[in-house]
Structure 1
Amino acid sequence: MTRQKATLIGFSAILLWALLALMTIGSAPVPPFLLNALCFGIGGVIGLVWIGFGAGFGVLRQISWKVYAFGTIGLFGYHALYFTAFRIAPFAETGLIAYLWPLFIVLFSGLLPGERLRALHVIGALVAFVGAGLIVMGRGDAAGAVPVLGLSLAFLCALSWAGYSVLSRRLGDVPTESVVVYCLLTAALSVPAHLLWEVTVWPQGGWGWLSVVGLGLGPVGLAFFTWDIGMKKGDIQLLGVASYAAPLLSTLALIAAGLAEAKPILLLAALMITGGAALAARASLKP
Structure 2
Amino acid sequence: MTRNKATLIGLVAIGLWSTVIGLIRVVSEHLGPTGGGAMIYTVASVFLMLSVGIPKIKEFPRPYLYLGSGLFAAYELCLVLAIGDARNGRQAIEVSMLNYLWPTLTMLLSIVVNKQRSNLLIVPGVALSLLGVCWVLGGDNGLELAQMATNIRGNPAPYVLAFVGAVIWSTYCTVTSRISGGKNGVTLFFLLTAVVLWCKFAMEGGGSMTFTTGVCAQLALTACALGIGHACWNIGILKGNVTLLAGASYFTPILSAAMASALLGSKLSNPFWVGAAMVCAGSLLSWTAIREGRPG
Q: TM-score, normalised by structure 2?
A: 0.86
2:158 aligned residue: 150
2:83 aligned residue: 86
Match of 1:236 among 239, 242, 247: 242
Bigger Cα displacement from structure 2, 162-171 vs 271-280: 162-171
Shift of 1:81: 1.3
Q: Give distance in 1, aligned partners of 2:106 and 2:167.
A: 9
Q: In 2 relative to 1, CA 6–213 (structure 1 residues): closer, same or farther, beyond 3 Å?
A: same
Q: Give distance in 2, aligned partners of 1:241 and 1:145.
A: 30
Does the 8 Å CA contact 1:28/1:204 hold for their aligned counterparts?
Answer: no
1:38 aligned residue: 39
* Structure 1 residues not aligned, in runs of 5+: none
Does the 8 Å CA contact 2:126/2:282 hold for their aligned counterparts?
Answer: yes
**1:175 match: secondary structure:** coil
1:180 aligned residue: 187
2:202 aligned residue: 195
Shift of 1:174: 3.4
* Structure 2 residues not aligned, in runs of 5+: none
Match of 2:171 among 163, 185, 188: 163
Q: In 2 relative to 1, CA 207–105 (structure 1 residues): closer, same or farther, beyond 3 Å?
A: farther
Does the 8 Å CA contact 1:26/1:207 hold for their aligned counterparts?
Answer: no
Does the 8 Å CA contact 1:179/1:225 hold for their aligned counterparts?
Answer: yes
Cα deviation 1:85-128 (Å, max 9, x = unaligned): 12333122111111111111222122343512432112111111
Residue 267 (1) aligns with residue 273 (2): yes
Does the 8 Å CA contact 1:127/1:275 hold for their aligned counterparts?
Answer: yes
Match of 2:288 among 261, 282, 286: 282
2:132 aligned residue: 131
Shift of 1:243: 0.7
Q: In 2 relative to 1, CA 96–109 (structure 1 residues): closer, same or farther, beyond 3 Å?
A: same
2:260 aligned residue: 254
Cα deviation 1:229-264 (Å, max 9, x = unaligned): 111111111101111111110111123335322311
Q: In 2 relative to 1, CA 238–195 (structure 1 residues): closer, same or farther, beyond 3 Å?
A: same
Shift of 1:203: 5.0
Shift of 1:31: 3.0
Task: For 2:173, give the aligned amino acid.
Answer: S
Q: How does 1:39-54 map to 2 (within 5 A)?
A: 39-50=40-51
Q: In 2 relative to 1, CA 118–31 (structure 1 residues): closer, same or farther, beyond 3 Å?
A: farther
Residues paired across the two proteins, number = 281
Q: In 2 relative to 1, CA 94–193 (structure 1 residues): closer, same or farther, beyond 3 Å?
A: same
Q: In 2 relative to 1, CA 64–201 (structure 1 residues): closer, same or farther, beyond 3 Å?
A: farther
Shift of 1:4: 0.5
Task: For 1:24, give the aligned amino acid.
Answer: I
RMSD of aligned alpha carbons: 2.2
Cα deviation 1:184-239 (Å, max 9, x = unaligned): 122122211110025424255333322222222222x1111111111111111110
Q: Give distance in 2, aligned partners of 1:72 and 1:127.
A: 31
**2:253 match: secondary structure:** helix
Q: Give distance in 1, aligned partners of 2:160 and 2:207.
A: 25
**2:28 match: secondary structure:** coil
**2:121 match: secondary structure:** helix
2:22 aligned residue: 22
2:97 aligned residue: 96
**1:244 match: secondary structure:** helix
Match of 1:225 among 222, 228, 231: 231
Q: Give distance in 2, aligned partners of 1:51 and 1:79.
A: 19
Q: Give distance in 2, aligned partners of 1:28 and 1:50.
A: 25
Does the 8 Å CA contact 1:203/1:209 hold for their aligned counterparts?
Answer: no
Match of 2:216 among 209, 212, 217: 209
